[in-house]
Amino acid sequence: MQRQPPKKKKTKKEIPQKLDEERLAADLNTDYSKRKKNLRHLRPQMPKKQKWPKVKGVIRERENAPQGWNPEEPDLMPECLERITENIMPHVYQHKLTELMAKQTERTALIATEPGLSWPIVQRLDGLKFTLDWLVAENDKYKMVDTVKAIIAQYRSGELDWHPEFVTYWHAGVQLCRPRPFHWEEYRYVHDKCQGHEGFWVEGVSLVRNPLIA
Protein backbone atom coordinates (compact mmCIF):
# COMPACT_ATOMS: atom_id res chain seq x y z
CA MET A 1 0.00 0.00 0.00
CA GLN A 2 1.44 3.34 -1.05
CA ARG A 3 1.95 5.73 1.82
CA GLN A 4 0.49 9.18 1.45
CA PRO A 5 2.84 12.11 1.93
CA PRO A 6 2.16 13.98 5.15
CA LYS A 7 -0.12 16.95 4.79
CA LYS A 8 1.53 20.30 5.07
CA LYS A 9 0.53 22.17 8.15
CA LYS A 10 -1.15 25.46 7.51
CA THR A 11 0.81 28.35 8.90
CA LYS A 12 -0.91 31.47 10.04
CA LYS A 13 0.02 34.52 8.09
CA GLU A 14 1.18 37.35 10.26
CA ILE A 15 -1.05 40.36 9.93
CA PRO A 16 1.09 43.49 9.75
CA GLN A 17 0.29 45.87 12.58
CA LYS A 18 -0.80 49.32 11.49
CA LEU A 19 1.33 52.07 12.96
CA ASP A 20 -0.60 54.19 15.44
CA GLU A 21 0.41 57.57 14.05
CA GLU A 22 -1.34 59.63 16.72
CA ARG A 23 0.29 57.66 19.52
CA LEU A 24 3.70 57.86 17.86
CA ALA A 25 3.43 61.62 17.40
CA ALA A 26 2.89 62.02 21.15
CA ASP A 27 5.57 59.47 22.02
CA LEU A 28 8.29 61.26 20.04
CA ASN A 29 8.70 63.56 23.05
CA THR A 30 9.49 60.61 25.33
CA ASP A 31 13.16 60.33 26.29
CA TYR A 32 13.80 56.58 26.49
CA SER A 33 17.38 57.17 27.64
CA LYS A 34 16.09 58.25 31.06
CA ARG A 35 14.21 55.04 31.76
CA LYS A 36 15.51 52.72 34.52
CA LYS A 37 16.31 49.85 32.17
CA ASN A 38 18.67 51.96 30.11
CA LEU A 39 21.36 49.60 28.82
CA ARG A 40 24.03 52.26 28.54
CA HIS A 41 24.81 51.87 32.24
CA LEU A 42 25.69 48.20 31.80
CA ARG A 43 29.38 47.59 31.21
CA PRO A 44 30.53 44.58 29.21
CA GLN A 45 32.04 41.87 31.37
CA MET A 46 35.81 41.66 31.25
CA PRO A 47 37.26 38.21 30.66
CA LYS A 48 38.81 36.49 33.67
CA LYS A 49 42.48 37.19 34.16
CA GLN A 50 44.67 34.33 33.02
CA LYS A 51 47.33 32.99 35.37
CA TRP A 52 50.51 31.26 34.24
CA PRO A 53 53.21 29.45 36.23
CA LYS A 54 56.52 31.18 36.86
CA VAL A 55 59.20 30.40 34.31
CA LYS A 56 62.98 30.41 34.31
CA GLY A 57 64.58 32.77 31.87
CA VAL A 58 62.63 34.43 29.06
CA ILE A 59 60.28 32.53 26.74
CA ARG A 60 60.20 34.02 23.25
CA GLU A 61 58.81 31.13 21.19
CA ARG A 62 55.14 30.18 21.23
CA GLU A 63 55.84 26.46 21.40
CA ASN A 64 57.81 26.94 24.64
CA ALA A 65 55.02 28.85 26.37
CA PRO A 66 52.92 27.15 29.09
CA GLN A 67 50.08 24.98 27.79
CA GLY A 68 47.03 27.05 26.97
CA TRP A 69 48.93 30.33 26.78
CA ASN A 70 47.36 32.94 24.54
CA PRO A 71 47.62 36.72 24.23
CA GLU A 72 43.84 37.29 24.05
CA GLU A 73 43.47 39.61 27.00
CA PRO A 74 42.23 43.20 27.46
CA ASP A 75 44.85 45.60 26.14
CA LEU A 76 45.24 47.60 29.35
CA MET A 77 48.52 49.18 30.38
CA PRO A 78 48.81 47.57 33.86
CA GLU A 79 48.16 44.12 32.39
CA CYS A 80 50.77 44.64 29.67
CA LEU A 81 53.42 45.78 32.17
CA GLU A 82 52.67 42.82 34.44
CA ARG A 83 52.86 40.32 31.57
CA ILE A 84 56.20 41.74 30.44
CA THR A 85 57.70 41.08 33.88
CA GLU A 86 56.44 37.47 33.77
CA ASN A 87 58.89 36.78 30.91
CA ILE A 88 56.38 34.74 28.86
CA MET A 89 56.44 36.12 25.32
CA PRO A 90 57.28 39.64 26.59
CA HIS A 91 57.75 40.99 23.06
CA VAL A 92 54.04 40.38 22.38
CA TYR A 93 53.05 42.61 25.30
CA GLN A 94 55.73 45.18 24.51
CA HIS A 95 54.13 45.55 21.08
CA LYS A 96 50.69 45.83 22.66
CA LEU A 97 51.99 48.41 25.12
CA THR A 98 53.47 50.53 22.32
CA GLU A 99 50.15 50.48 20.46
CA LEU A 100 48.25 51.27 23.63
CA MET A 101 50.44 54.27 24.45
CA ALA A 102 50.04 55.61 20.90
CA LYS A 103 46.25 55.31 21.18
CA GLN A 104 46.34 57.04 24.56
CA THR A 105 48.32 59.94 23.11
CA GLU A 106 45.84 60.22 20.24
CA ARG A 107 42.91 60.11 22.66
CA THR A 108 44.41 62.84 24.88
CA ALA A 109 44.91 65.11 21.87
CA LEU A 110 41.35 64.50 20.65
CA ILE A 111 39.81 65.15 24.08
CA ALA A 112 41.67 68.48 24.19
CA THR A 113 39.69 69.64 21.14
CA GLU A 114 36.38 69.31 23.02
CA PRO A 115 37.17 70.08 26.70
CA GLY A 116 34.65 69.00 29.31
CA LEU A 117 32.88 66.42 27.15
CA SER A 118 32.82 62.65 27.59
CA TRP A 119 35.01 60.42 25.46
CA PRO A 120 32.08 58.89 23.49
CA ILE A 121 30.79 62.37 22.60
CA VAL A 122 34.28 63.57 21.66
CA GLN A 123 34.61 60.62 19.26
CA ARG A 124 31.19 61.29 17.77
CA LEU A 125 31.95 64.98 17.32
CA ASP A 126 35.17 64.09 15.54
CA GLY A 127 33.17 62.05 13.04
CA LEU A 128 30.53 64.75 12.65
CA LYS A 129 33.14 67.44 12.00
CA PHE A 130 34.67 65.26 9.29
CA THR A 131 31.21 64.76 7.76
CA LEU A 132 30.49 68.50 7.95
CA ASP A 133 33.69 69.35 6.09
CA TRP A 134 32.76 66.86 3.37
CA LEU A 135 29.21 68.22 3.06
CA VAL A 136 30.49 71.78 2.75
CA ALA A 137 33.01 70.69 0.12
CA GLU A 138 30.11 69.12 -1.82
CA ASN A 139 28.21 72.46 -1.68
CA ASP A 140 25.62 70.91 0.64
CA LYS A 141 23.93 69.06 -2.20
CA TYR A 142 22.24 66.76 0.34
CA LYS A 143 20.92 69.73 2.42
CA MET A 144 22.55 68.33 5.55
CA VAL A 145 24.86 71.14 6.69
CA ASP A 146 22.32 72.84 8.95
CA THR A 147 21.38 69.53 10.55
CA VAL A 148 24.96 68.44 11.25
CA LYS A 149 25.76 71.88 12.70
CA ALA A 150 22.68 71.61 14.95
CA ILE A 151 23.67 68.14 16.18
CA ILE A 152 27.20 69.32 16.94
CA ALA A 153 25.82 72.30 18.87
CA GLN A 154 23.47 70.06 20.88
CA TYR A 155 26.29 67.71 21.86
CA ARG A 156 28.51 70.61 22.90
CA SER A 157 25.76 72.25 24.96
CA GLY A 158 24.96 69.02 26.79
CA GLU A 159 21.38 68.97 25.51
CA LEU A 160 22.17 65.82 23.51
CA ASP A 161 24.02 62.88 25.02
CA TRP A 162 25.53 59.85 23.31
CA HIS A 163 23.21 56.83 23.50
CA PRO A 164 24.50 53.96 21.33
CA GLU A 165 21.25 52.01 21.68
CA PHE A 166 18.94 54.94 20.82
CA VAL A 167 18.48 57.30 17.89
CA THR A 168 17.13 60.78 17.26
CA TYR A 169 15.51 61.98 14.03
CA TRP A 170 16.47 65.30 12.47
CA HIS A 171 15.31 67.36 9.49
CA ALA A 172 16.51 70.72 8.20
CA GLY A 173 18.43 71.48 11.39
CA VAL A 174 15.54 70.60 13.72
CA GLN A 175 15.49 67.72 16.22
CA LEU A 176 12.23 65.80 15.76
CA CYS A 177 12.28 63.48 18.78
CA ARG A 178 14.01 62.58 22.00
CA PRO A 179 16.32 59.52 22.15
CA ARG A 180 14.32 56.38 21.35
CA PRO A 181 14.78 52.82 20.02
CA PHE A 182 15.06 52.53 16.25
CA HIS A 183 12.16 50.92 14.36
CA TRP A 184 11.87 50.92 10.59
CA GLU A 185 8.14 51.65 10.65
CA GLU A 186 8.67 54.71 12.80
CA TYR A 187 11.61 55.83 10.72
CA ARG A 188 9.60 55.58 7.51
CA TYR A 189 6.65 57.44 9.01
CA VAL A 190 8.76 60.35 10.29
CA HIS A 191 10.84 60.39 7.12
CA ASP A 192 7.83 60.51 4.81
CA LYS A 193 6.05 63.10 6.90
CA CYS A 194 9.07 65.38 6.49
CA GLN A 195 9.30 64.54 2.79
CA GLY A 196 12.78 63.52 3.77
CA HIS A 197 14.33 62.92 0.38
CA GLU A 198 16.67 65.75 1.37
CA GLY A 199 17.92 66.87 4.75
CA PHE A 200 16.68 63.92 6.82
CA TRP A 201 19.10 62.41 9.32
CA VAL A 202 19.06 59.63 11.91
CA GLU A 203 21.60 60.24 14.67
CA GLY A 204 22.75 57.12 16.51
CA VAL A 205 25.33 55.35 14.39
CA SER A 206 26.02 52.37 16.64
CA LEU A 207 22.53 51.03 16.08
CA VAL A 208 22.02 51.71 12.38
CA ARG A 209 25.74 51.55 11.50
CA ASN A 210 25.73 54.86 9.60
CA PRO A 211 23.51 57.92 9.76
CA LEU A 212 20.70 57.56 7.27
CA ILE A 213 20.90 60.08 4.46
CA ALA A 214 17.65 59.77 2.55
pLDDT of residue 141: 92
Cβ neighbour number for residue 40 with a 10 Å cutoff: 14
- Please, what is the Cα angle at 196 between 193 and 199, to 5 degrees? 135
Give the whole-angstrom CA distance, residue 76 versus residue 45.
15
pLDDT of residue 128: 95
- φ, ψ (nearest 5 deg) of residue 26: -75, -35
Give the whole-angstrom CA distance, residue 27 versus residue 43.
28
pTM for the model: 0.74
Range with lowest mean pLDDT among 81-85, 152-156, 194-198:
194-198
Q: What is the mean pLDDT of the chain?
A: 83
Orientation angle between helical segments 77-85 and 90-113, nearest 10 degrees = 160
Confidence of residue 149 (pLDDT cuts 50, 70, 90): very high
Q: Report the length, in residues, of the chain.
A: 214
Indicate the helix (H) or strand (E) that contains 201.
strand 200-203
